């Protein structure tokens, strides 16, 4: 007697399924990744000369420490174009 082949079984696929809680970037980036090293090194730097260059007033801006982390990490990845860095910030978890 010939057996009927088993039907394939797939994991559920739901495109718009929301998370109960959004994932933290910290949980999505593996320990020891270069982006963590860059962040830790820059956190240890004295950036007071850089911060002293900013004048008060006007609209709020991104923190210079965060921008420096983005630039240094991008340069380690051989990305020098501001447009490519902006694209990576939108699409790559390591830049976010």
DSSP 22-88: PPPHHHHS-TT-HHHHHHHHHHHS--HHHHTTPPS-SS----HHHHHHHHHHHHHTT---HHHHHHH
Model confidence band, residue 11 (pLDDT cutoffs 50, 70, 90): confident
76 pLDDT exceeds 90?
yes
The pLDDT tens digits for 13-43 are 777 777 777 778 888 899 999 999 999 999 9
Model confidence band, residue 79 (pLDDT cutoffs 50, 70, 90): very high
- Rounded to an integer, what is the distance from CA 74 to the centroid of its chain? 11
The pLDDT tens digits for 48-62 are 998 888 887 888 888
71 near 36, Cβ under 8 Å? no
Rounded CA-CA distance 72/38 in Å is 7
Query: What does the mean pLDDT of the chain come to?
Result: 88
73 near 94, Cβ under 8 Å? yes
Rounded CA-CA distance 19/21 in Å is 5
| Global pTM value | 0.76
Segments making up each domain of the chain, as ranges: 63-96
Q: What is the pLDDT of residue 66?
A: 92
65 pLDDT exceeds 80?
yes
């Amino acid at each position: 007697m010939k057996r009927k082949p088993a039907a394939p079984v797939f994991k559920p696929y739901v495109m718009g399924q929301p998370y109960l809680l959004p994932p933290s970037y910290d949980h999505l980036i593996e320990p020891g990744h270069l982006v963590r090293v860059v962040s830790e090194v820059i956190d240890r730097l004295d950036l007071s000369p850089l911060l002293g260059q900013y004048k008060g007033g006007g609209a709020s801006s991104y923190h210079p420490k965060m921008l420096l982390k983005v630039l240094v990490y991008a340069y380690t990845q051989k990305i020098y174009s501001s447009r490519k860095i902006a694209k990576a910030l939108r699409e790559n978890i390591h830049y976010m």
